[in-house]
Structure 1
Amino acid sequence: MKSTAFYYSLGRPFSPIYGLAMRLREKMYARGVFKSYSLSVPVISVGNLTMGGAGKTPVVCYLARKLKRAGYSPAVVSRGYGGKANGKVNIVSDGTTLKLSADMAGDEPRMLAELLEDIPVLTGIVRRFPAQRAIEMGANVLLLDDGFQHMAINRDINLALFNTDWLAGNSRVFPGGDLREPVAALRRASRFVMTGMREDNRERAERFADLLHSKFPEIPLSFLEYGPSSSVAIEQGTGRLVESSCSLKEKSWYAFAGIAQPQSFYKSLEECGVAIAGFQGFADHQVYTKEILDQLNREADKSGAAGLVTTEKDLVKLAAVAESTTLPLLALRMEVRESGDFLNNILKELQCSSS
């Protein structure tokens, strides 16, 4: 955090320039100078305004499953950040078979493909191409992962997420702060979603929600909570994530995470009653090697931990080197728990856009 604050202080003089560039980009799309494409099926975008994680992937997963149960045929479209696959269309999963590793697909698309066994997941830098392929594969609704700044595809529902631990960060535009765009860009949202609600952050989240309502009174807001569902491990031979019979509460564990806010994972473990013998945070989208895993094993041994625990997003990237671990290696599986009428509102908005 201190190093981030230092770099942001250096970048602060350039924030107005970057903010102006983002406003001009938005106007170019609004005026048709940059083309926006409309697709033949409804599009739900799940994105955020901040640089850090806001819980987009769990929300995409939650919506995909609920839409499937409601009778839709959803597909997920992502840019595939960090993945080596560079085709116009990269099929991570066709809804039946996993086709790309985390190394090729990117950690988040691979994780979604693991979690959504009967829902296609596709990537591509120019997202209208995988979006069109998903429609050809039978999708009748698309979930655009991390799509708030991706204005080249028109969307019917535009969700702007805020993590209740992080909110708007330092409220300055990059490179002087955590915002990808100026705050005024939030007027593009059709709904605000506060993710990761807990008792210890509820009051702060509600104050921020009041602030959003005062600035954007026409945009509704929903709250979503996260909670643990199980622990998972890498299945030998397939590299897939499967539920583990090992309980995280019975022993102490050495924890690590390579996500936007590693401390949020630490908090999640504490709330689950997991004894943490040690903790190491990595940069978001960390690439794991055998050497890194060996070092983690050594640190865990020193701490007296019974094994290693991490996030699902990290675990999918460890499949290629997991056999070298000398200790059990698990991930805590988290799921969205709805509070209020979030899903019902989404389904109503979707029906309206389809009519």
Structure 2
Amino acid sequence: MKTSPLLFFLGRPFSPLYSWAMRAREAGYRRGVFRSYHFPVPVVSVGNLTMGGTGKTPMVHYLARLLQQNSFKPAIISRGYGGTAQGPVNIVSDGCSLLLDAKAAGDEPRMLAETLPGVPVLTGIVRRLPAQRAVDLGADVLLLDDGFQHLPIQRDVNLVLFNTDRLAGNSRVFPGGDLREPVAALHRATGFVLTGVYEANRDRAQRFRDLLATKFPGIPTFLTGYEVETLVRLMPSGETVPVAAATVASLKGYGFCGIAHPESFRETVQGIGVDLTGFTGFADHRQYSDSLVERLISTARKTGADFLLTTEKDLVKFSGYAHQLPVPLYGIRMQVLVDEEFTATVLRALRSRRPSS
């Protein structure tokens, strides 16, 4: 999410009021004025303090895989932002079958459901309702996607993510800045995660980690990165098939995406050796209409592209167009790189609360 400095400037006089409201809300939950719900299974929240993308969904994906590999039965609970399904409980996947498409579910829940067989994915505005349904489906751990500000659900692990290239933005609270809450809200976290760390910004990440350690002693900070796991090709049937990244190396491709920070995806595309003939960045959670798809195809053809390339999150929205695409469409699947200390910390916290069998 990009907001102009002018809007931040105009909104600055209202930041203290918004900040006060968020502090009062937190105090209300802490003192029991507002009800919060405790579940019989452990809960992991993945969220952020800033507006815009910090890599929450890739982290949720990583954690779901990690938990499966360690004999947990995770389920993912999401707000379902951008989806048209408005029921109190919307089951995107029950762990066996995909039940909602990207338009109904939202792009991120649908992508998680497609790429995590065996993991139920549910959405709903009042998230305790899909959370309870997930427990009824047999989940023994709940993953809250974008859950830091969702105080009605108590949690055992409360991860706050920061994009290393953007960190805390201008450090002012909305609408005068890009913080969802005052910085003091970070005391609720059980761990900080800096995402997108690589050699060029590692010093910046280390300095921010030192700052967090000073301001919030006792809360660990973990550095994480990304790498391309594979490409996935959209077939005419609407199914996706993994293919090696080398498939498109040195070929001419046209890139596009609808994510919070499109330039980061552009850099990823260039990093796998694609000869990029052009690139279009859209707003996060962009829905693709017939006319927009036609325009993308026309533009790609004019630039001499052999194929289209997008994020895996965007790819799930194209299953209805798969049969009419005149050129191949690929999505890039990313994976999160973490250290052993991070995985050990998460698993230790969850095992301490895991129901005895």
Tell me the TM-score range normalised by the shorter chain.
Answer: over 0.9
- Counterpart-to-counterpart distance in 1, 2:16 and 2:193: 27
Q: Paired residue for 1:143?
A: 143
Q: Paired residue for 2:192?
A: 192
Q: CA deviation at 1:272?
A: 2.5
1:67-102 alpha-carbon deviations (Å, 9 max, x no partner): 111011111111111111111111100111100001
Q: CA deviation at 1:134?
A: 0.7
Change (3 A) 1:340 1:206: farther
Change (3 A) 1:276 1:339: farther
Q: CA deviation at 1:352?
A: 2.3
CA RMSD in angstroms, aligned pairs only: 1.6
The one-letter amino acid paired with 1:50 is: T
Please show how residues 45-56 of structure 1 align to structure 2 within 5 Å.
Answer: 45-56=45-56
Q: CA deviation at 1:244?
A: 3.3
Q: CA deviation at 1:271?
A: 2.6
Q: CA deviation at 1:10?
A: 2.2
Is 1:22 matched with 2:22?
A: yes
Tell me if the contact between 1:290 and 1:324 (Cα under 8 Å) persists in the aligned partners. Answer: no
- Secondary structure at 1:200 match in 2: helix
The one-letter amino acid paired with 1:74 is: P
Please show how residues 300-311 of structure 1 align to structure 2 within 5 Å.
Answer: 300-311=300-311
* Percent of aligned pairs with the same amino acid: 56
Q: CA deviation at 1:3?
A: 5.9
Change (3 A) 1:28 1:178: same
Q: Paired residue for 2:289?
A: 289
Q: Paired residue for 2:314?
A: 314
Which stretch shifts more, 299-308 or 175-184?
Answer: 299-308
Runs of 4+ in 1 over 4 A off after TM superposition: none
Tell me if the contact between 2:2 and 2:52 (Cα under 8 Å) persists in the aligned partners. Answer: no
- Counterpart-to-counterpart distance in 2, 1:19 and 1:267: 35
Q: Paired residue for 2:243?
A: 244
Which stretch shifts more, 55-64 or 311-320?
Answer: 311-320
Q: CA deviation at 1:257?
A: 1.2
Q: Paired residue for 1:134?
A: 134
Tell me if the contact between 2:140 and 2:354 (Cα under 8 Å) persists in the aligned partners. Answer: no
- Secondary structure at 1:332 match in 2: strand
Tell me if the contact between 1:233 and 1:241 (Cα under 8 Å) persists in the aligned partners. Answer: yes
The one-letter amino acid paired with 2:216 is: F
The one-letter amino acid paired with 1:279 is: F
- Counterpart-to-counterpart distance in 1, 2:121 and 2:177: 32
Which stretch shifts more, 193-202 or 106-115?
Answer: 193-202
- Counterpart-to-counterpart distance in 1, 2:158 and 2:64: 15
Please show how residues 163-202 of structure 1 align to structure 2 within 5 Å.
Answer: 163-202=163-202
Tell me if the contact between 1:225 and 1:339 (Cα under 8 Å) persists in the aligned partners. Answer: no
Q: Paired residue for 2:225?
A: 225
Tell me if the contact between 1:258 and 1:282 (Cα under 8 Å) persists in the aligned partners. Answer: yes
- Secondary structure at 2:214 match in 1: helix
Tell me if the contact between 1:289 and 1:321 (Cα under 8 Å) persists in the aligned partners. Answer: no
Count of residues paired in the alignment:
354
- For structure 1, which runs of at least 5 residues remain unmatched after alignment? none
- Counterpart-to-counterpart distance in 1, 2:175 and 2:321: 35
- Secondary structure at 1:260 match in 2: coil
Which stretch shifts more, 213-222 or 163-172?
Answer: 163-172
Q: CA deviation at 1:6?
A: 2.7
Tell me if the contact between 1:122 and 1:134 (Cα under 8 Å) persists in the aligned partners. Answer: yes
1:294-348 alpha-carbon deviations (Å, 9 max, x no partner): 1112222222221111111111112223433322211111011223411111111
- Secondary structure at 1:327 match in 2: coil
- Secondary structure at 1:291 match in 2: helix
Is 1:123 matched with 2:123?
A: yes
1:85-122 alpha-carbon deviations (Å, 9 max, x no partner): 11111110011110000100011100100110111111
When the two structures are superposed, what TM-score results if normalisation uses the length of structure 2? 0.95
Q: CA deviation at 1:261?
A: 0.9
Q: Paired residue for 1:253?
A: 253
- Counterpart-to-counterpart distance in 2, 1:290 and 1:188: 44
Which stretch shifts more, 186-195 or 209-218?
Answer: 209-218
Tell me if the contact between 1:8 and 1:175 (Cα under 8 Å) persists in the aligned partners. Answer: yes
- Secondary structure at 1:231 match in 2: strand
Q: Paired residue for 1:109?
A: 109
- For structure 2, which runs of at least 5 residues remain unmatched after alignment? none
Change (3 A) 1:235 1:94: farther
Change (3 A) 1:141 1:47: same
Change (3 A) 1:339 1:272: farther
Tell me if the contact between 1:231 and 1:248 (Cα under 8 Å) persists in the aligned partners. Answer: no
Tell me if the contact between 2:250 and 2:273 (Cα under 8 Å) persists in the aligned partners. Answer: no
- Counterpart-to-counterpart distance in 1, 2:344 and 2:244: 34
Change (3 A) 1:71 1:2: closer
The one-letter amino acid paired with 2:348 is: K
Q: CA deviation at 1:2?
A: 8.0
Tell me if the contact between 2:92 and 2:100 (Cα under 8 Å) persists in the aligned partners. Answer: yes
1:126-183 alpha-carbon deviations (Å, 9 max, x no partner): 1111111111111111111110000000000000011112211222211122111111
Is 1:63 matched with 2:63?
A: yes
Change (3 A) 1:129 1:240: farther
- Secondary structure at 1:321 match in 2: helix
Change (3 A) 1:240 1:31: farther
Q: Paired residue for 1:299?
A: 299
